[in-house]
Amino acid sequence: MQYTHLGRTGLKVSRLCLGTMNFGAHTSEADSHAIMDQALALDVQFFDTADVYGWTPGEGVTEQIVGRWIAQGGGRREQIVLATKVYNDMSKEGQPDPNLARGLSARKIIACCEGSLRRLQTDCIDLYQMHHIDRECPFDEIWEAMETLVRQGKVIYVGSSNFAGWDIAHACGEAARRHFQGLVCEQSIYHLDNRMVELEVLPSCRHFGLGFIPWSPLGGGMLGGVLNKPKDGRRGAEGMADRIEAKRAQLEPYEKLCADLGEAPANVALAWLLSNPVVTAPIIGPRTAAQLKDAQRAVEIELSTETLAKLDEIWPGPGGEAPKAYAW
């Protein structure tokens, strides 16, 4: 496994990030624990989760699964870089709480951090990410809460997710005004078939020294070789057949290119992301330990300039960075 700095920080993280969104929802606890064990065996030490994962209102099911794995000991907590998120509604089912609804108030951040720490069975979160921008809450309040958690030793680094380029600039500017480290990374959707972040988000990350963590790097399975897979799992999911037909004109040359390279389509899609110097680590969400092991190959693939150009032809982006992508 290769490692890189998380943005401008001195923290080293693996070039693949283990996403846990399937844990508890589509993957059993036993299988989830096996996947995390396999991740450590493969030196994938960057783990990403969120308080809302598991999709049982207010329960933090996925964090609980990760926490019980950490509690087994054996140096598990010390070996991983642990990231989670705050923003979404954490009210209990049937007990709506306006101060636990979506948002980033200081009260919400502090309360949700304490909840995540309990569920994860740890004293400290390495990377605490705002899961979405909250334009109704001023950054003075947000940064005050984050600074408090950092001073208390409950959080080390702060990141964002699903922020626009101007949200990143605003957040970084307000943090600098307070002499606070502020954001160290952004997590957003990015894959060959969705390249909108190239307009302003990636340039913002590069300018402010943020790492970039792509989620859904395989486009919900579309870039994983769907044309030659049986119609089960994601291939058989509702609406997937329509998506495949809508993209067939691109999927066919894409999968042929991957076959000519002798590489699995999923690994080519990940290698394409890793070829971008702004990208820190794509989030992979395996449902089995075997899928995780297969993904390790992506780190070893070096795509040629010719191959990158062919991928651009098949999956054209927005035309570069703003404003040149649409003006001059």
| 99: exposed, middle or buried (Cβ count in 10 Å: 0-12, 13-18, 19+) | exposed
Output the pTM of the full model.
0.94
Looking at residue 233, what is its pLDDT?
56
Looking at residue 230, what is its pLDDT?
66
53, 128, 157, 190: the active-site residue: 53
User: What letter would DSSP give residue 23?
Assistant: B
User: What letter would DSSP give residue 323?
Assistant: T
* Helix (H) or strand (E) segment spanning residue 186: strand 183-189
Answer whether the bond into residue 323 is a cis peptide, omega within 30°.
Answer: yes
Q: Which long-range contacts (CB under 8 A, 24 or more apart) does 301-307 make?
A: 301/263, 301/267, 301/268, 301/271, 302/271, 302/275, 303/268, 303/271, 303/272, 303/275, 307/257, 307/261
Helices then strands (H, E): number in the chain?
11, 10
Looking at residue 229, what is its pLDDT?
78
DSSP character string of 218-255: TTTTTTTTGGGS-SSGGGGSTTHHHHHHHHHHHHHHHH
- Domains located in the chain, CATH noted: 3-314 (3.20.20.100)
Number of Cβ atoms within 10 Å of the Cβ of 72: 12
Number of Cβ atoms within 10 Å of the Cβ of 209: 14
CA distance 55 to 44: 25
Quick check: is 53 catalytic? yes
Taking 50 as the pLDDT cut, the residues of the chain under it are: none
CA distance 283 to 306: 26
Q: Residue for token digits 């570069």?
A: 320
* Helix (H) or strand (E) segment spanning residue 81: strand 81-86
> Please, what sign has the CA dihedral across residues 325, 16, 62, 58?
negative
Q: Residue for token digits 């990208």?
A: 279
Looking at residue 238, what is its pLDDT?
65
CA distance 299 to 292: 12
